[in-house]
Amino acid sequence: MHLILFFIFAGFCLAGAINLLLQSHPIASALSLIVVMTSLAVLYLLLGAEFLAAAQVIVYAGAIMVLVTLVVMLLNAGREERTHGSHAAWLVGFPAVATILAVIATVILHLQRMGVAKLGDGITSTAELGTVLFTRLLLPFEVTSVLILIAILGAVALARRGNGEGTAGK
Amino acid sequence: MNSLFAQEVPLSWYLMLSAILFSLGVVGFLIKRNLITMFMSIELMLNAVNLSFVTFARQWSAVQGQLFVFFVMVVAAAEAAVGLAIIISVFRARATLAVDKLDRMKL
């Protein structure tokens, strides 16, 4: 069962990611990214991370992707024109990606001590997660709340009309 | 059918999936010519890394790995808010999202 679910949702993940690259319309890319994120939530569930699966659906597939699709619609982003791209991307970027993938793949395939994941064991409960979060990692947790506050202020300041160069919108 | 239910998946397959997703994200960042889709490729890379975090948390039975993913999600939410605000203000100033036309800082 685990094997079947893994293949189905890993397939969804890869298909969504490849579709993201192939589509030329931003909204189609955004929808395929939602597919990727939701399938990743199922994979988290298979790995026993219940809380993260829920958070993935709510935060990533929900909040962040709503924001992205809203911006796509707000800016009326049309079909992108394909250009050749930069020379640096072709000369350095793609060989570097291929090399990184090859290195990671060989390392992973030579790992001996990796375990196996079975359905229904090794589930991390949310209570366990909360205990560690609010005892050992309390300071980082509080710092992230400050980070969120600053990010909200920054987003409002950036997106407000009529400051700096952005007077074209007025 | 019973043996089918007892199947188990090696954790290295999850790591492999994560590596492939990350590479697809990098390729997307390189070939996409639209600010928003480049941004989405970055989100894809973040998600790929999160998957390997969860896999290693499972491997070592470490709760901290999952909490790290939680923090990555929080930072990604902040990053999305600020990044999209930047995209909106760029669009307002230039009326385009094509990165080839946003070349004022090029030499």
- Say yes or no for a CB contact (<8 Å) between A155 and B85: yes
pLDDT in tens, A62-105: 999 999 999 999 888 777 777 766 777 788 888 889 999 999 88
Measured between CB atoms, does A61 come within 8 Å of chain B? no
Overall residue count recorded for chain A in this entry: 170
pLDDT in tens, B29-50: 988 888 899 999 999 999 999 9
- B63 within domain boundaries: yes
Question: Which contiguous run of DSSP H or E holds residue A29?
Answer: helix A26-46
B33 DSSP 8-state letter: -
**Which of A116, A33, A98, A36 is CA-nearest to residue A68?**
A33
Residue A80 C-alpha, separation from nearest chain B C-alpha, in angstroms = 6
Residue B10 binned pLDDT confidence (cut-offs 50, 70, 90): confident
Residues 14-73 of B with CB under 8 A from A: 14-17, 19-21, 23-28, 30-34, 36-37, 39-41, 43-44, 47, 50-51, 54-55, 57-59, 61, 63-64, 66-67, 69-71, 73
- In the predicted model, what is the mean pLDDT of residues A100-129? 83
- Say yes or no for a CB contact (<8 Å) between A74 and B61: no
Cross-strand pairs, B98:
B34
The number of folded domains in chain B is 1
Calculate helix-pair angle for B11-31, B35-59, nearest 10 degrees. 170
Domain that holds residue B24: 9-101
Look at the block and give the residue holding tokens 């992205």: A68
Distance CA(A79)–CA(A65), nearest Å, equals 19
> Under DSSP, is residue A158 helix (H, G, I), strand (E, B) or coil?
helix
Best to test chain B binding among A9, A57, A68, A70 (most B CBs inside 10 Å) = A68
- B106 within domain boundaries: no
Scored b (16 or more CB within 10 A) or e, B53-65 reads bbbbbbbeeebeb
Residue A42 binned pLDDT confidence (cut-offs 50, 70, 90): very high
CA distances from A107 to A103, B8, B12 (A): 6, 21, 10
What confidence score (pLDDT) does residue A44 get? 93
Question: Which contiguous run of DSSP H or E holds residue B10?
Answer: strand B9-10
Best to test chain A binding among B5, B29, B34, B86 (most A CBs inside 10 Å) = B34
pLDDT in tens, B43-78: 999 999 999 999 999 888 888 889 999 999 999 999
- B4 within domain boundaries: no
| Angle at CA of residue A107, ends A114 and A3, nearest 5° | 45
Residues 5-24 of A with CB under 8 A from B: 6, 10, 13-14, 17-18, 20-21
What confidence score (pLDDT) does residue A145 get? 93
- B67 within domain boundaries: yes
Query: What is the domain-level CATH number for residue B26?
Result: 1.10.287.3510
| Backbone CA torsion sign across B93, B96, B97, B101 | negative
Residue ranges in A47-125 assigned as alpha helix (H): 50-55, 65-74, 87-88, 94-109
- Spatial neighbors of B34 by CB under 8 A, at least 6 apart, are A26, A77, A80, B97, B98, B99
What confidence score (pLDDT) does residue A14 get? 95
Note the ipTM here.
0.89
- In the predicted model, what is the mean pLDDT of residues A42-56? 92
- In the predicted model, what is the mean pLDDT of residues B14-41? 92
- B107 within domain boundaries: no
Distance CA(A91)–CA(A103), nearest Å, equals 19
- B22 within domain boundaries: yes
**Minimal Cβ distance to A124: which of B32, B63, B92:** B63
